[in-house]
Amino acid sequence: MIRYYPEKIIILDEARIRDSIITKNILSAVEGKNASVSYLGEEKIAAIIQDAKKPENSYGEGKKTLLITANRGEFLKKCPGTNDYICCDYYIIDFAQNCPMECTYCILQAYLNNPFMVVYANIEDLFAELNSRLFADPLKKYRIGTGEFTDSLALEHLSEYSKILMDYFADKPQFIIEFKSKTDYVKTFTDYAGARQNVIISYSMNAGNVNRFEELKTASIEERLIAAAECVKAGYKITLHFDPIIDYDDFETQMAETVNLIFKYLGAEDILYISLGAFRFIPALAEIIALRFPRSRIIYNEFVKGYDKKSRYFRFKREKLFRTVINLIKSHDVKNKIKLYFCMESPEMWNALLEAAPSSDEELGGTLYDKCRSCFKAI
Protein backbone atom coordinates (compact mmCIF):
# COMPACT_ATOMS: atom_id res chain seq x y z
CA MET A 1 0.00 0.00 0.00
CA ILE A 2 1.04 3.64 -0.46
CA ARG A 3 2.50 5.20 2.68
CA TYR A 4 1.16 8.49 3.99
CA TYR A 5 3.32 11.62 3.78
CA PRO A 6 1.87 15.01 4.79
CA GLU A 7 1.97 18.09 2.63
CA LYS A 8 2.25 20.33 5.70
CA ILE A 9 3.67 19.76 9.16
CA ILE A 10 2.72 22.06 12.04
CA ILE A 11 4.77 21.69 15.22
CA LEU A 12 3.73 23.15 18.57
CA ASP A 13 6.46 25.66 19.41
CA GLU A 14 7.40 24.29 22.81
CA ALA A 15 10.89 23.03 23.62
CA ARG A 16 9.74 19.58 24.71
CA ILE A 17 7.83 19.13 21.43
CA ARG A 18 10.57 20.56 19.21
CA ASP A 19 13.17 18.33 20.90
CA SER A 20 11.02 15.18 21.17
CA ILE A 21 12.30 11.99 19.58
CA ILE A 22 8.89 11.73 17.91
CA THR A 23 9.33 15.11 16.20
CA LYS A 24 12.87 14.25 15.19
CA ASN A 25 11.80 10.90 13.75
CA ILE A 26 9.04 12.49 11.68
CA LEU A 27 11.19 15.32 10.33
CA SER A 28 13.89 12.83 9.38
CA ALA A 29 11.37 10.56 7.63
CA VAL A 30 9.85 13.37 5.51
CA GLU A 31 13.19 14.76 4.40
CA GLY A 32 13.07 15.14 0.63
CA LYS A 33 9.25 14.81 0.52
CA ASN A 34 8.67 18.56 0.07
CA ALA A 35 6.51 18.97 3.16
CA SER A 36 6.34 22.52 4.53
CA VAL A 37 7.21 22.79 8.22
CA SER A 38 6.10 25.53 10.60
CA TYR A 39 6.46 26.05 14.36
CA LEU A 40 3.44 27.77 15.89
CA GLY A 41 2.03 28.66 19.27
CA GLU A 42 -1.10 27.06 20.68
CA GLU A 43 -3.44 29.97 19.94
CA LYS A 44 -2.34 30.17 16.32
CA ILE A 45 -2.76 26.42 15.90
CA ALA A 46 -6.27 26.59 17.36
CA ALA A 47 -7.21 29.31 14.88
CA ILE A 48 -5.84 27.30 11.95
CA ILE A 49 -7.81 24.24 13.04
CA GLN A 50 -11.02 26.27 13.21
CA ASP A 51 -10.40 27.65 9.75
CA ALA A 52 -9.63 24.18 8.36
CA LYS A 53 -12.99 22.86 9.59
CA LYS A 54 -14.99 25.24 7.37
CA PRO A 55 -14.80 23.52 3.95
CA GLU A 56 -17.45 20.91 3.23
CA ASN A 57 -14.96 18.06 3.01
CA SER A 58 -12.66 19.39 5.71
CA TYR A 59 -12.07 15.92 7.14
CA GLY A 60 -10.52 14.60 3.95
CA GLU A 61 -8.56 17.76 3.15
CA GLY A 62 -7.37 18.13 6.72
CA LYS A 63 -5.45 14.88 6.58
CA LYS A 64 -2.90 16.52 4.32
CA THR A 65 -1.63 18.36 7.41
CA LEU A 66 0.20 16.62 10.25
CA LEU A 67 0.09 18.37 13.62
CA ILE A 68 2.78 17.44 16.15
CA THR A 69 1.61 18.65 19.52
CA ALA A 70 1.13 17.81 23.20
CA ASN A 71 -1.61 15.70 24.77
CA ARG A 72 -2.96 17.85 27.61
CA GLY A 73 -5.23 15.09 28.91
CA GLU A 74 -4.89 11.43 29.78
CA PHE A 75 -2.97 9.08 27.53
CA LEU A 76 -4.30 5.84 29.03
CA LYS A 77 -8.05 5.42 28.62
CA LYS A 78 -10.57 2.66 29.15
CA CYS A 79 -12.17 1.52 25.91
CA PRO A 80 -15.67 3.06 25.89
CA GLY A 81 -18.62 0.71 26.11
CA THR A 82 -22.07 0.40 27.64
CA ASN A 83 -23.40 -1.57 30.59
CA ASP A 84 -25.88 -3.39 28.37
CA TYR A 85 -23.25 -5.02 26.14
CA ILE A 86 -20.26 -7.13 27.11
CA CYS A 87 -16.92 -5.42 26.57
CA CYS A 88 -13.44 -6.89 26.91
CA ASP A 89 -11.88 -4.60 29.56
CA TYR A 90 -9.49 -3.11 27.01
CA TYR A 91 -7.29 -0.06 27.58
CA ILE A 92 -6.05 2.41 25.00
CA ILE A 93 -2.97 4.58 24.71
CA ASP A 94 -4.09 7.77 22.98
CA PHE A 95 -0.83 8.56 21.17
CA ALA A 96 -2.29 10.00 17.95
CA GLN A 97 -5.62 10.92 16.41
CA ASN A 98 -7.10 10.58 12.94
CA CYS A 99 -6.12 8.16 10.19
CA PRO A 100 -4.82 8.68 6.64
CA MET A 101 -6.87 5.76 5.37
CA GLU A 102 -10.47 6.26 4.23
CA CYS A 103 -12.83 3.59 5.55
CA THR A 104 -16.34 4.73 4.75
CA TYR A 105 -17.68 3.47 8.08
CA CYS A 106 -14.95 5.02 10.29
CA ILE A 107 -16.39 6.50 13.50
CA LEU A 108 -13.52 9.01 13.70
CA GLN A 109 -15.26 11.08 11.01
CA ALA A 110 -18.02 11.88 13.48
CA TYR A 111 -15.95 11.76 16.65
CA LEU A 112 -12.97 14.04 16.06
CA ASN A 113 -13.22 17.84 16.10
CA ASN A 114 -9.86 18.35 14.40
CA PRO A 115 -9.48 17.47 10.69
CA PHE A 116 -5.68 17.25 10.87
CA MET A 117 -3.57 14.18 11.46
CA VAL A 118 -2.31 14.55 15.04
CA VAL A 119 0.64 12.97 16.84
CA TYR A 120 1.39 13.61 20.51
CA ALA A 121 5.10 14.14 21.07
CA ASN A 122 5.20 14.67 24.86
CA ILE A 123 6.24 11.10 25.51
CA GLU A 124 7.81 11.91 28.90
CA ASP A 125 4.30 12.71 30.13
CA LEU A 126 3.06 9.45 28.60
CA PHE A 127 5.68 7.38 30.39
CA ALA A 128 5.12 9.22 33.68
CA GLU A 129 1.40 8.47 33.48
CA LEU A 130 1.97 4.82 32.62
CA ASN A 131 4.46 4.45 35.48
CA SER A 132 1.92 5.94 37.88
CA ARG A 133 -1.24 4.17 36.75
CA LEU A 134 -0.19 0.73 35.57
CA PHE A 135 1.49 -0.19 38.83
CA ALA A 136 -1.22 1.16 41.13
CA ASP A 137 -3.06 -2.20 41.15
CA PRO A 138 -0.62 -5.14 40.93
CA LEU A 139 -3.50 -7.59 40.34
CA LYS A 140 -4.96 -5.77 37.32
CA LYS A 141 -4.58 -7.68 34.04
CA TYR A 142 -3.90 -4.99 31.47
CA ARG A 143 -4.35 -5.51 27.75
CA ILE A 144 -3.41 -2.24 26.11
CA GLY A 145 -3.88 -1.19 22.50
CA THR A 146 -3.05 1.89 20.45
CA GLY A 147 -5.50 1.51 17.56
CA GLU A 148 -8.62 3.27 18.84
CA PHE A 149 -8.24 6.91 17.77
CA THR A 150 -5.95 6.09 14.87
CA ASP A 151 -4.47 3.06 13.17
CA SER A 152 -1.56 1.74 15.24
CA LEU A 153 0.83 1.57 12.28
CA ALA A 154 -0.43 4.11 9.73
CA LEU A 155 2.21 6.64 10.84
CA GLU A 156 4.81 4.17 12.08
CA HIS A 157 7.09 4.78 9.07
CA LEU A 158 7.24 8.42 10.21
CA SER A 159 7.14 8.42 14.01
CA GLU A 160 8.32 4.93 15.10
CA TYR A 161 5.94 5.35 18.04
CA SER A 162 5.21 1.62 18.27
CA LYS A 163 8.90 0.83 18.51
CA ILE A 164 9.26 3.35 21.34
CA LEU A 165 6.32 1.76 23.17
CA MET A 166 7.78 -1.70 22.65
CA ASP A 167 11.02 -0.51 24.23
CA TYR A 168 9.05 0.81 27.21
CA PHE A 169 7.13 -2.45 27.70
CA ALA A 170 10.09 -4.76 26.96
CA ASP A 171 10.94 -5.15 30.66
CA LYS A 172 7.29 -5.15 31.77
CA PRO A 173 6.03 -8.52 30.50
CA GLN A 174 3.03 -8.48 32.84
CA PHE A 175 1.36 -5.99 30.47
CA ILE A 176 0.04 -7.06 27.08
CA ILE A 177 0.49 -4.48 24.29
CA GLU A 178 -1.43 -4.84 21.03
CA PHE A 179 -0.89 -2.97 17.76
CA LYS A 180 -3.98 -3.05 15.53
CA SER A 181 -3.80 -2.12 11.87
CA LYS A 182 -5.19 -2.17 8.35
CA THR A 183 -1.73 -1.62 6.89
CA ASP A 184 0.94 -4.08 5.80
CA TYR A 185 3.75 -2.31 7.70
CA VAL A 186 6.08 -4.78 9.47
CA LYS A 187 9.54 -3.18 9.63
CA THR A 188 9.21 -2.14 13.27
CA PHE A 189 8.49 -5.74 14.28
CA THR A 190 10.77 -7.68 11.95
CA ASP A 191 13.74 -5.40 12.78
CA TYR A 192 13.10 -5.29 16.52
CA ALA A 193 15.81 -6.96 18.60
CA GLY A 194 14.21 -6.71 22.05
CA ALA A 195 11.84 -8.94 24.01
CA ARG A 196 8.52 -9.61 22.29
CA GLN A 197 6.74 -11.98 24.64
CA ASN A 198 4.07 -9.41 25.54
CA VAL A 199 3.57 -7.88 22.07
CA ILE A 200 0.64 -8.82 19.81
CA ILE A 201 0.18 -7.72 16.21
CA SER A 202 -3.45 -7.40 15.24
CA TYR A 203 -5.17 -7.07 11.87
CA SER A 204 -8.67 -6.02 10.89
CA MET A 205 -10.42 -8.50 8.61
CA ASN A 206 -13.45 -8.17 6.39
CA ALA A 207 -15.11 -9.60 3.31
CA GLY A 208 -13.06 -8.93 0.18
CA ASN A 209 -15.58 -6.67 -1.51
CA VAL A 210 -16.03 -4.63 1.68
CA ASN A 211 -12.26 -4.22 1.76
CA ARG A 212 -12.16 -3.11 -1.89
CA PHE A 213 -15.10 -0.70 -1.87
CA GLU A 214 -15.44 0.49 1.75
CA GLU A 215 -11.87 0.35 3.14
CA LEU A 216 -10.20 2.84 0.84
CA LYS A 217 -6.45 3.53 0.97
CA THR A 218 -5.88 0.46 3.17
CA ALA A 219 -3.82 -2.64 2.54
CA SER A 220 -5.74 -5.47 0.91
CA ILE A 221 -6.78 -8.42 3.06
CA GLU A 222 -4.09 -10.53 1.45
CA GLU A 223 -1.42 -7.86 2.00
CA ARG A 224 -2.35 -7.72 5.69
CA LEU A 225 -2.12 -11.49 6.00
CA ILE A 226 1.24 -11.61 4.25
CA ALA A 227 2.40 -9.02 6.80
CA ALA A 228 0.93 -11.12 9.61
CA ALA A 229 2.85 -14.17 8.38
CA GLU A 230 6.07 -12.15 8.42
CA CYS A 231 5.38 -11.14 12.01
CA VAL A 232 4.75 -14.77 12.97
CA LYS A 233 8.06 -15.73 11.37
CA ALA A 234 9.71 -13.02 13.50
CA GLY A 235 8.26 -14.58 16.66
CA TYR A 236 5.00 -12.73 17.28
CA LYS A 237 1.47 -13.92 17.90
CA ILE A 238 -1.46 -12.55 15.92
CA THR A 239 -5.01 -11.48 16.75
CA LEU A 240 -7.72 -10.72 14.20
CA HIS A 241 -10.79 -8.51 14.35
CA PHE A 242 -13.85 -8.93 12.14
CA ASP A 243 -15.36 -5.57 13.01
CA PRO A 244 -17.44 -4.18 11.49
CA ILE A 245 -19.06 -7.18 9.83
CA ILE A 246 -21.30 -5.65 7.16
CA ASP A 247 -24.30 -7.15 5.40
CA TYR A 248 -22.89 -6.85 1.89
CA ASP A 249 -23.32 -8.32 -1.58
CA ASP A 250 -22.40 -12.03 -1.89
CA PHE A 251 -21.61 -12.08 1.82
CA GLU A 252 -21.04 -15.81 2.36
CA THR A 253 -18.80 -16.30 -0.69
CA GLN A 254 -16.76 -13.18 -0.04
CA MET A 255 -16.32 -13.96 3.64
CA ALA A 256 -15.35 -17.54 2.87
CA GLU A 257 -12.60 -16.25 0.59
CA THR A 258 -11.26 -14.07 3.41
CA VAL A 259 -11.29 -16.91 5.95
CA ASN A 260 -9.59 -19.21 3.44
CA LEU A 261 -6.90 -16.58 2.96
CA ILE A 262 -6.38 -16.34 6.71
CA PHE A 263 -5.58 -20.03 6.97
CA LYS A 264 -3.50 -19.95 3.80
CA TYR A 265 -1.04 -17.63 5.53
CA LEU A 266 -1.57 -18.43 9.23
CA GLY A 267 -2.03 -21.55 11.28
CA ALA A 268 -4.62 -21.72 14.05
CA GLU A 269 -1.73 -21.87 16.53
CA ASP A 270 -0.52 -18.45 15.33
CA ILE A 271 -3.80 -16.72 16.20
CA LEU A 272 -4.59 -15.99 19.85
CA TYR A 273 -8.12 -14.71 19.45
CA ILE A 274 -10.60 -13.31 16.95
CA SER A 275 -13.21 -10.69 17.81
CA LEU A 276 -16.54 -10.32 16.03
CA GLY A 277 -18.57 -7.12 15.87
CA ALA A 278 -21.42 -6.06 13.59
CA PHE A 279 -21.68 -2.69 11.83
CA ARG A 280 -23.12 0.01 14.10
CA PHE A 281 -23.14 3.78 13.89
CA ILE A 282 -24.38 7.00 15.44
CA PRO A 283 -26.78 9.24 13.44
CA ALA A 284 -24.11 11.84 12.75
CA LEU A 285 -21.94 9.23 11.02
CA ALA A 286 -24.73 8.28 8.60
CA GLU A 287 -24.93 11.89 7.44
CA ILE A 288 -21.16 12.06 6.96
CA ILE A 289 -21.01 8.79 5.00
CA ALA A 290 -23.78 10.01 2.70
CA LEU A 291 -21.87 13.26 2.09
CA ARG A 292 -18.33 11.93 1.76
CA PHE A 293 -19.00 8.57 0.14
CA PRO A 294 -22.19 8.86 -1.95
CA ARG A 295 -21.50 5.54 -3.69
CA SER A 296 -21.52 3.61 -0.42
CA ARG A 297 -24.79 1.83 0.36
CA ILE A 298 -23.93 0.52 3.83
CA ILE A 299 -26.25 2.91 5.68
CA TYR A 300 -29.25 2.04 3.52
CA ASN A 301 -30.48 -1.04 5.32
CA GLU A 302 -32.87 -1.93 8.12
CA PHE A 303 -31.51 -0.96 11.51
CA VAL A 304 -32.70 -0.75 15.08
CA LYS A 305 -31.46 1.51 17.88
CA GLY A 306 -29.28 -0.38 20.35
CA TYR A 307 -28.83 0.25 24.07
CA ASP A 308 -25.88 2.47 23.17
CA LYS A 309 -28.12 4.62 20.91
CA LYS A 310 -26.26 3.37 17.85
CA SER A 311 -28.06 1.95 14.84
CA ARG A 312 -27.35 -1.74 14.36
CA TYR A 313 -28.79 -4.64 12.42
CA PHE A 314 -31.77 -6.46 13.85
CA ARG A 315 -30.86 -9.34 16.14
CA PHE A 316 -31.78 -12.08 13.63
CA LYS A 317 -29.54 -10.54 10.95
CA ARG A 318 -26.57 -10.08 13.30
CA GLU A 319 -26.93 -13.67 14.41
CA LYS A 320 -26.96 -14.87 10.79
CA LEU A 321 -23.84 -12.85 9.93
CA PHE A 322 -22.00 -13.99 13.05
CA ARG A 323 -22.97 -17.63 12.55
CA THR A 324 -21.56 -17.58 9.02
CA VAL A 325 -18.20 -16.20 10.13
CA ILE A 326 -17.96 -18.47 13.18
CA ASN A 327 -18.70 -21.60 11.14
CA LEU A 328 -16.13 -20.62 8.52
CA ILE A 329 -13.44 -20.13 11.17
CA LYS A 330 -14.28 -23.36 12.97
CA SER A 331 -14.13 -25.32 9.73
CA HIS A 332 -10.40 -24.54 9.72
CA ASP A 333 -9.78 -24.41 13.48
CA VAL A 334 -11.12 -27.90 14.18
CA LYS A 335 -9.25 -28.16 17.50
CA ASN A 336 -10.68 -24.86 18.78
CA LYS A 337 -7.29 -23.30 19.43
CA ILE A 338 -8.55 -19.79 18.66
CA LYS A 339 -10.59 -17.91 21.23
CA LEU A 340 -13.66 -16.28 19.64
CA TYR A 341 -15.51 -13.44 21.33
CA PHE A 342 -17.99 -10.69 20.55
CA CYS A 343 -17.32 -6.98 20.67
CA MET A 344 -20.25 -4.96 22.03
CA GLU A 345 -22.86 -7.71 21.97
CA SER A 346 -25.55 -8.88 24.36
CA PRO A 347 -25.32 -11.94 26.61
CA GLU A 348 -28.13 -13.46 24.51
CA MET A 349 -25.91 -13.47 21.41
CA TRP A 350 -23.09 -15.12 23.34
CA ASN A 351 -25.41 -17.82 24.65
CA ALA A 352 -26.79 -18.47 21.16
CA LEU A 353 -23.52 -18.75 19.25
CA LEU A 354 -20.56 -19.11 21.62
CA GLU A 355 -20.05 -20.42 25.13
CA ALA A 356 -21.95 -18.97 28.08
CA ALA A 357 -21.69 -15.20 28.23
CA PRO A 358 -19.00 -13.78 30.54
CA SER A 359 -20.41 -12.42 33.77
CA SER A 360 -18.49 -9.14 33.46
CA ASP A 361 -16.11 -7.14 31.29
CA GLU A 362 -13.32 -8.05 33.70
CA GLU A 363 -14.00 -11.76 33.29
CA LEU A 364 -13.73 -11.56 29.49
CA GLY A 365 -10.67 -9.32 29.70
CA GLY A 366 -9.03 -11.71 32.12
CA THR A 367 -9.75 -14.67 29.85
CA LEU A 368 -8.16 -12.94 26.88
CA TYR A 369 -5.19 -11.85 28.99
CA ASP A 370 -4.65 -15.39 30.25
CA LYS A 371 -4.92 -16.73 26.70
CA CYS A 372 -2.13 -14.36 25.65
CA ARG A 373 0.10 -15.15 28.61
CA SER A 374 -0.29 -18.91 28.16
CA CYS A 375 1.22 -18.60 24.69
CA PHE A 376 4.19 -16.50 25.74
CA LYS A 377 7.33 -17.77 27.35
CA ALA A 378 7.17 -18.32 31.11
CA ILE A 379 8.43 -15.31 33.02
| pLDDT one-digit tens code per residue, 40-51 | 999 999 999 999
CA distance 153 to 67: 17
Interhelix angle 221-233/251-265, nearest 10 degrees: 20
Q: Is residue 53 part of a domain?
A: no
Position 52 in a domain: no
Whole-angstrom CA distances from 330 to 99, 280, 290 are 33, 25, 36
In this structure, is residue 271 part of a structural domain? yes
Q: For 323-360, how does the pLDDT look when each residue is reduced to its tens digit (9 = 90+)?
A: 999 999 999 999 999 999 999 999 999 999 998 899 99
The pTM (predicted TM-score) of the whole model is: 0.96
Provide the residue range defining the domain that includes 202.
Answer: 70-95+123-375
Number of structural domains in the chain: 1
The number of beta carbons lying within 10 Å of the beta carbon of residue 293 is: 19
% of residues, the chain, pLDDT over 70: 99
Residue 86 has pLDDT above 70, yes or no: yes
* CA–CA distance, 68 with 9 (Å, rounded to integer): 7
Helices 123-133/161-169 angle, 10° precision = 30
* Phi/psi of residue 372, nearest 5 degrees: -65, -50
Q: How does residue 377 score in pLDDT terms, banded at 50, 70 and 90?
A: low
Q: Does residue 17 carry a pLDDT above 70?
A: yes
* Mean confidence (pLDDT) of the chain: 95
For residue range 123-155, list pLDDT tens digits in order: 999 999 999 999 999 999 999 999 999 999 999
86: which strand partners? 345
Is 281 a member of any domain? Answer: yes
Q: What is the CATH number of the domain that holds 271?
A: 3.80.30.30
Rounded to whole angstroms, the Cα distance separating 297 from 15 reads 48
